[in-house]
Structure 1
Amino acid sequence: MPQPGNPPYEKEITSERIQRHGKELWDHVRARGTGINYPFPDHMTLRSFSLGEVAEILSVSDSYLRQLSIDGLGPTPELGTAGRRSYTLRQINELRAYLASARPKEALKFCPRRREGEKLQIISVAAGPARTTTAFYLVQGLALQGFRVLAVDLDPRGSLSEMFGYFPGIIPVHNASMYAAIRYDNYRASIRTAIRSTHFDGLDLVPGSFELGLFEEESSRRYHSENLRYPDASVRMVSAIKEVEADYDVVVIHCTPEYTFLTVGAFEAATGVLVMVRPQLADIASMAMFLNIFSHSVSLIEKAERPVNYDFIKFLLTRHDPRDVSQQEAVALLRDSLGDDLLTATVWESNAIREARLKKRSLYELSAGAVGRSAYEQAMESLNSTNAEVMDIISEVWGRPPIYVSQASRLTTAGKAKSRRLSK
């Protein structure tokens, strides 16, 4: 018999007992200071960029930047061995501001931030192979080009967050993800409380956390208790992002791999959607199934009399091996079906990208020697071309002329010419 004063746990059903254990353990962890807010001790830093790299990023000549430095114009670079100049990303952005002021006719080229009347671009990176890798390189590529970027990780496992040094799967956190801004109880807070800086100047992050899974459970309960009517999860996410609209040019939402209430919220908040597909028949079939789910989600939003008008829905080929004959046939099928909605650039299958991922870094953060120069240059060409297309799409939405694809093409051509000269 239970002792007098003990809780009547013997009346619990199994699900209630499991839930009680989870709550008690979480309360104990928080009471001991482990359930903390970000950031964590794993401090990340970004390397400096050589004068040649900065010239490529800004699309100006090495000699022009060198002369600016000699004349004392713009930020003062660090001088290394043999007087080699290098710049931090913050200094590159200072250079952008200086060049935009000194060369006003090219201001948009150097400083691409939103102008008055240009709306915030919110890109949902949806399900598909290399979803995390795509979001990771896109947000960093945008930041390197001078955009103010917010990355939102909706993955309860925090797969994107880990790439920025935040590890929700190892150390539990409390109210420090998008969950804080969209939760249903009285502890709901501003999205600003969840935004964290990263080691990339101009790039902030709303990390993922396991609490996003709690939100899914609560949304599911509300869904069934309200006679299968959707809870206001989507509206909450839209409102949360609206709160910081003035602070950013682009928001990139890293969706979960599953079909969830969070994913539907990301679809409603988005102004554009990027869908990944590997050029293999099984993956194309999987994407076709996802598109049916995507269509159903949008139809539910539309039935709630909230119109969905995307600026774009684009498809990106990832893990592409152009030497594989079967993949060539799959690419032809996709281009025939999707037309201009399929990006021209593809992300190639790359050992360099995989090696960088294992190091919890991107190729933007590493030197060529860290993964092998040839593999590094090939992967960077692929990634930069993809990011350039996305940036030109953003430019088109804002009513600007496209410049990034042609710029990436010039840099690639110049880089290959330079390599040939060095090899002689």
Structure 2
Amino acid sequence: MAEVSKPIHINSRIRENAESLASALEHHMLKSFAPDARKELRLFSAGEAADLLNISASFLRKLHFEDRIPDVHTTPGGRRHYSAADLTTIRKMLEENAKSPGAYLKGRREGDKVQVLSFLNFKGGSGKTTSSIHTAQRLALKGYRVLAVDIDPQASLTTLFGYQPEVDFLHSGSIYDAIRYEDPLPFSQIIQQTYFTGLDLAPGGLILQEFEHETPTALRNNIQPPFYARMAAALQEVEADYDVIIFDCPPQLGYLTMSALCASTGVLITVVPNMLDVASMSQFLQMSADLLDVVSGAGARMEFDFLRFLINRYEPSDGPQQQVVAFLRQLFGEEVMTNAMLKSTAISDAGLTQQTIYEVERSAFHRNTYDRAVDSLNAVNDEVEALMQKAWGR
């Protein structure tokens, strides 16, 4: 007679699985990074530096030859390598001698409003975090002052910056502390400086889920400001310090996402080009419109400089994906971004060590694979930069 299986106490089993996974992840981090180490940004080649400074490689060599810029790290073979701090110094020196203001420092000028960009979709796996962190890093490398805000309780963006949100920000120190209904902290107190020059982080964490739970009670008690205005109100303290603020939103249309939308000047909806994802996005857009109508009627600001659909994890050789992209372009026209973020093993491989393409060395990958991924990301992020510049009237 077959033995009857014993019932599983699901709460205990889930807790065991959670503890096992947490331990394994900590072990993986210790293998990737020393216990007391913080992530550091790599150096950039002369070609990469010239691209980020928007000058030619020959002009960069000329600047060194004429001693117009400080010397940088040079290998025994004579190759120069530049840190992000070096790029900032050189960019400022170039700007001082530029014929027109803003030629090299392209951030905000007097009268320009801070650009607040939300990356969002209803469906998980659409590349929101990958898109938002690469955009934040590319803009920082190009001289913009960037704040990345992680409002996803899963806190993947925070993890990519080298933190352990389930340990570092389990009870305090996350964005939740700045938007909570009882005794919120000044936004400046939760901002973390990162290893990326010009890029700060407002961390996420599991405690952010409390905002979703507390908001219905706050609405009944008429606590001010209401949920949709709390993010914008909190950001006012620090927005003068940044050119662009980037939200990585959770894969749900909750109070956190709506609070980010109500603070935003631009929206980027990530979409993987297959019909299931497009069908899910259709539902997401309808729900968004209905809910935003409600908060707009309550007094929320609903004016954006731009809204774009960002094609993500795109495989140009995939016939069905090509058809879906053509369908979206026919439907939404210029609201679909010209450039798509390609699906690449380089991006996923970099993620194994919690890094991005901009952080890993080119030598760690097959050259063509790496270049293809970087070119794709640069094209997307430079298109985002152009949208920001247009919003500033340039």
Match of 1:274 in 2: 268
> SS of the counterpart of 1:169?
helix
Q: Deviations over 1:146-170 (max 9, x none)?
A: 1100000001121101110011124
Of 349, 352, 357, which aligns to 1:358?
352
Would you say the 8 A contact 2:165–2:204 is kept in 1?
yes
Of 40, 49, 54, which aligns to 1:59?
54
Q: Deviations over 1:182-218 (max 9, x none)?
A: 11113x1101011001111110000101221122211
What's the % identity of the aligned pairs? 38
Q: Deviations over 1:364-390 (max 9, x none)?
A: 111222122111111111111100111
> SS of the counterpart of 1:344?
coil
Moved over 4 A (4+): none
TM-score w.r.t. the length of structure 2 is 0.87
Of 39, 42, 51, which aligns to 1:47?
42
Q: Deviations over 1:267-308 (max 9, x none)?
A: 101111100111111110011111112112321221112331
Match of 1:247 in 2: 241
Of 85, 92, 97, which aligns to 2:92?
97
Match of 2:178 in 1: 181
> SS of the counterpart of 1:345?
coil
Of 136, 157, 160, which aligns to 1:160?
157
Which is worse superposed, 325-334 or 172-181? 172-181
Question: Is residue 2:188 matched to residue 1:192?
Answer: yes
| AA aligned opposite 1:286 | S
Match of 2:203 in 1: 207
Q: Deviations over 1:46-82 (max 9, x none)?
A: 0111112111212222232223223322232112121
Would you say the 8 A contact 2:144–2:244 is kept in 1?
yes
Following superposition, the deviation at residue 42 of structure 1 comes to: 4.6
Following superposition, the deviation at residue 358 of structure 1 comes to: 1.4
Higher RCO, 1 vs 2 (CA within 8 Å, ≥6 residues apart): 2
Larger radius of gyration: 1
Question: Is residue 2:289 matched to residue 1:292?
Answer: no
Equivalent runs, 1:367-406 vs 2, <5 Å: 367-400=361-394
Would you say the 8 A contact 1:157–1:169 is kept in 2?
no
Which is worse superposed, 300-309 or 388-397? 300-309
Q: Deviations over 1:342-375 (max 9, x none)?
A: 0010011111111111121111111222122111
Which is worse superposed, 176-185 or 212-221? 212-221
Q: Distance in 2 between matches of 1:373 and 1:131?
A: 26
Would you say the 8 A contact 1:42–1:166 is kept in 2?
no
| AA aligned opposite 1:138 | T
Q: Distance in 1 between matches of 2:91 and 2:99?
A: 11
Of 148, 151, 176, which aligns to 1:151?
148
Q: Distance in 2 between matches of 1:220 and 1:142?
A: 37
> SS of the counterpart of 2:339?
strand
Following superposition, the deviation at residue 233 of structure 1 comes to: 1.6
Following superposition, the deviation at residue 175 of structure 1 comes to: 2.6
Following superposition, the deviation at residue 108 of structure 1 comes to: 2.3
Which is worse superposed, 149-158 or 163-172? 163-172
Which is worse superposed, 131-140 or 365-374? 365-374
Q: Deviations over 1:236-279 (max 9, x none)?
A: 11111111111000000110112211111011011111001111
Would you say the 8 A contact 1:302–1:308 is kept in 2?
yes
Match of 2:82 in 1: 87
Q: Distance in 2 between matches of 1:41 and 1:312?
A: 42
> SS of the counterpart of 2:154?
coil
> SS of the counterpart of 1:348?
coil
Match of 2:12 in 1: none
How many pairs align?
357
> SS of the counterpart of 2:85?
helix
User: CA 1:132–1:252 in structure 2 vs 1: closer, same or farther (change >3 Å)?
Assistant: same
Following superposition, the deviation at residue 171 of structure 1 comes to: 4.4
Question: Is residue 2:226 matched to residue 1:232?
Answer: yes
| AA aligned opposite 2:226 | D
Q: Deviations over 1:325-347 (max 9, x none)?
A: 11111111100111010001001
Q: Distance in 2 between matches of 1:367 and 1:277?
A: 28
Would you say the 8 A contact 1:69–1:77 is kept in 2?
no
> SS of the counterpart of 2:341?
strand
Would you say the 8 A contact 1:222–1:231 is kept in 2?
no
Q: Distance in 1 between matches of 2:103 and 2:45?
A: 20
Across the aligned residues of Structure 1 and Structure 2, the Cα RMSD in angstroms comes to: 1.8
Question: Is residue 2:215 matched to residue 1:219?
Answer: yes
Question: Is residue 2:295 matched to residue 1:301?
Answer: yes
Q: Distance in 1 between matches of 2:365 and 2:315?
A: 19
